[in-house]
Amino acid sequence: MDKIIGIGNALVDVLARVNDDSIINELQLTKGGIELIDKDRYIYISGMVEAMDTHMASGGSAGNTIRALGILGCNVGFIGKIGEDTPGTFYKASCERDGVSASLITSPLPTGVATTFITPDGERTFADYLGAAATLEADDLTAEMFKGYSYLYIEGYLVQNHEMILKAAEMAKQEGLQICLDMASYNIVEAERDFFKLLLTKYVDIVFSNEEEARSFTGGKPEDALHDISKLCSVAIVKMGKNGSYIKKGTETIRVEAIQVDTVIDTTGAGDYFAAGFLYGLTSGYSFAKCAQIGSLLASKVIQVVGTELQPAVWKEIKSTINDIVSE
């Protein structure tokens, strides 16, 4: 099985379920979006959620994907930056627990925290204080970090640091890695459309996007966006939530249905887990259809819990169902 290394924001998630949109509106956050906040605003929001029922878990888009792959038994690594504090220790321990070989650079800044408000419709709204995570820079990267891996998985939230992403991509290509990119968020795609196009054209082999991100990048509906993105890279994936996903490589287009669930609790990590399932299938040598089915399976499980941590019994069920999928 091929080895995968991810690079992303090493964040700890603080998840708060709310009864309606009032706190989101009060904080002037965009529902369903991600807003980067400074330390002062982070302290203010932290004070607001102290009295709420919250759950803490290791997060970050690429981190979620890599940890899920580790639990599935893949050989994985992760590059990120943390503070020398309790959340940083928590994050490091979670990587070790889930079988991730982590290259975690330390910073004098606090570990990044993503405060996540989850509304009854399962939508999540992020207020992200990146802290140490935002200080990951080109000079922190070494060629040694990429040696022995076959794939580099990049989360789109990092693309605002052009120098660092370009250095990571260059080093990965020099070591013979294929590059996977998750577009991450429609508002980041809108702000960085030209840079995303540069990355896809020059470096990226596999692109994951949801329909909002694909529309922000191309202006088109899912099928049209899939076609446009596939012109720039080897494999394009457009996820459409409960409506399934499209995969296109060359002239071949595949549509895979989503696994329907009765109750959506929290959509946090759905895309990250889809990517984990897809990459697990890809590195195992399965067809794109089976890769997407495994991705849909993982996504269907994570949206039924708060956050992105699944119980051992659920992982056991997932592994059994994967065996059923690949034996069909």
Q: Which residue has the tokens 């990965």?
A: 172
pLDDT for 213 = 96
- Which portions of the chain are predicted below pLDDT 70? none
Is the distance from CB of 187 to CB of 157 less than 8 angstroms? Answer: no
pLDDT for 55 = 84
User: Which CATH fold topology does 4-327 show?
Assistant: UDP-N-acetylmuramoyl-L-alanine:D-glutamate ligase (3.40.1190)
Q: Select from 229, 225, 174, 171 the least CA-distant residue to 200.
A: 229
pLDDT for 160 = 87
Domain boundaries, the chain: 4-327
Per-residue pLDDT tens for 215-273? 999 999 999 999 999 999 999 999 999 999 999 999 999 999 999 998 888 888 899 99
Per-residue pLDDT tens for 185-222? 888 999 999 999 999 999 999 999 999 999 999 999 99
Average pLDDT over all residues of the chain = 94
The CA distance from 165 to 159, in Å, is 6
Give the sign of the dihedral formed by CA 311, CA 313, CA 315, CA 321.
negative
pLDDT for 184 = 85
182 strand-pairing partners: 155, 208
Q: Select from 104, 17, 238, 49 the least CA-distant residue to 229.
A: 238
pLDDT for 121 = 86
The CA distance from 202 to 199, in Å, is 5
The CA distance from 281 to 278, in Å, is 5
First to last CA, the chain: 20
Is the distance from CB of 68 to CB of 95 less than 8 angstroms? Answer: no
- Could you tell me the pTM of the whole model? 0.90
Q: What per-residue string of b and e applies to 287-318 under the rule 16 or more CB within 10 Å gives b?
A: ebebbbbbbbbbbbbbbebbbbbbeeeeeeeb
Quote the DSSP letter at residue 71. Answer: H
